[in-house]
Amino acid sequence: AQTVTQSQPEMSVQEAETVTLSCTYDTSENNYYLFWYKQPPSRQMILVIRQEAYKQQNATENRFSVNFQKAAKSFSLKISDSQLGDTAMYFCAFMRGGNQFYFGTGTSLTVIP
Amino acid sequence: DTAVSQTPKYLVTQMGNDKSIKCEQNLGHDTMYWYKQDSKKFLKIMFSYNNKELIINETVPNRFSPKSPDKAHLNLHINSLELGDSAVYFCASQPAGLGGNTIYFGEGSWLTVV
């Protein structure tokens, strides 16, 4: 079975600072995909960033970047220059087989002004 | 233009009632999902349909019955509602093709059972 673990239930960061959210996963697959989703208080699920396991280069999307360590099965999200609008739940997700999608338990991030 | 739309967005109902939540996507995707998010924010897959066929059916009480009349629609019917069914239910869709395509969520349907 695939599992996704987010060991930090809550985190906080000062505005304009950098924060890293952790995610580990367990799989025997070699080809898979990893995602970070953001869920603000409105509960809308918003894709933040995506990483293909076969790519060694870490994905980046503006202020968001990942540190993908395939051997360690680790997929952390770094948010640079944190903004108040970044306050949200962040979910790490794993996908294999086209439609086998699994989410972690989430990290609640608060950006402090 | 909403890509994945769910109705109703809010639903308050009494225990024992039967209710449905509708989902439609206008993205032309082949795969659709239902997820349940409880009060602790755990997001758990319930069902997955690919081109109207059931692909994933996680351990969900048989009071929950998905129905997909066509690949653009996946409705969720819940019989004999219980207090523990209170949650936010998300519909999502995913395009066909090689893996890596992300899933697109609706805005969620907030179900409260009283």
B108:A44 CB<8 A: yes
CA-to-CA distance for B53 and B65, rounded, in angstroms?
Answer: 13
Q: Give me Rg for the CA atoms of chain A.
A: 13
The distance of B98 to chain A (nearest Cα, Å) reads 7
Quick one: which of B99, B85, B91, B111 has its CA closest to B11? B111
Secondary structure of chain A in HEC code, one letter for each residue: CCEEECCCCEEEEECCCCEEECCEEECCCCCCEEEEEEECCCCCCEEEEEEECCCCCCCEECCEEEEEECCCCEEEEEECCCCHHHCEEEEEEEEECCCEEEECCCEEEEEEC
CA-to-CA distance for A94 and A70, rounded, in angstroms?
Answer: 13
**What's the mean pLDDT in A50-63?**
92
What pLDDT sits at residue A83?
Answer: 97
A32: which chain B residues are within 8 Å (Cβ-Cβ)? 99
Q: Give me Rg for the CA atoms of chain B.
A: 13
A48 versus B55: which is more confidently predicted? A48
What pLDDT sits at residue B77?
Answer: 96
Question: Which string of b and e fits B71-81 if b means at least 16 CB within 10 Å?
Answer: bbbbbbebeeb
Question: Token pair of B70, please?
Answer: 């066509």
What pLDDT sits at residue B96?
Answer: 76
**What's the mean pLDDT in B4-11?**
95
B98 versus B51: which is more confidently predicted? B51
Q: Of A11-25, A76-90, B18-32, B33-47, where does mean pLDDT reach its minimum?
A: B33-47
| pLDDT, tens digit, 9 for 90 and up, residues A64-109 | 999 999 999 999 999 999 999 999 999 999 987 766 788 999 999 9
Answer for the pair A92, A35: CB distance below 8 angstroms, yes or no.
Answer: yes
What pLDDT sits at residue A17?
Answer: 98
| pLDDT, tens digit, 9 for 90 and up, residues A9-31 | 999 999 999 999 999 999 888 88
B31:A98 CB<8 A: yes
B64 versus B54: which is more confidently predicted? B64
The distance of B82 to chain A (nearest Cα, Å) reads 23
The distance of A97 to chain B (nearest Cα, Å) reads 7
A43:B37 CB<8 A: yes
DSSP states along B14-64: -TT--EEEEEEE-S--SEEEEEEE-TT--EEEEEEEETTEEEEE-S--TTE
Is the pLDDT reported for residue B99 higher than 60? no
CA-to-CA distance for B31 and B1, rounded, in angstroms?
Answer: 20
Is the pLDDT reported for residue B83 higher than 60? yes
Is the pLDDT reported for residue B67 higher than 80? yes
What is chain B's mean pLDDT, rounded? 90
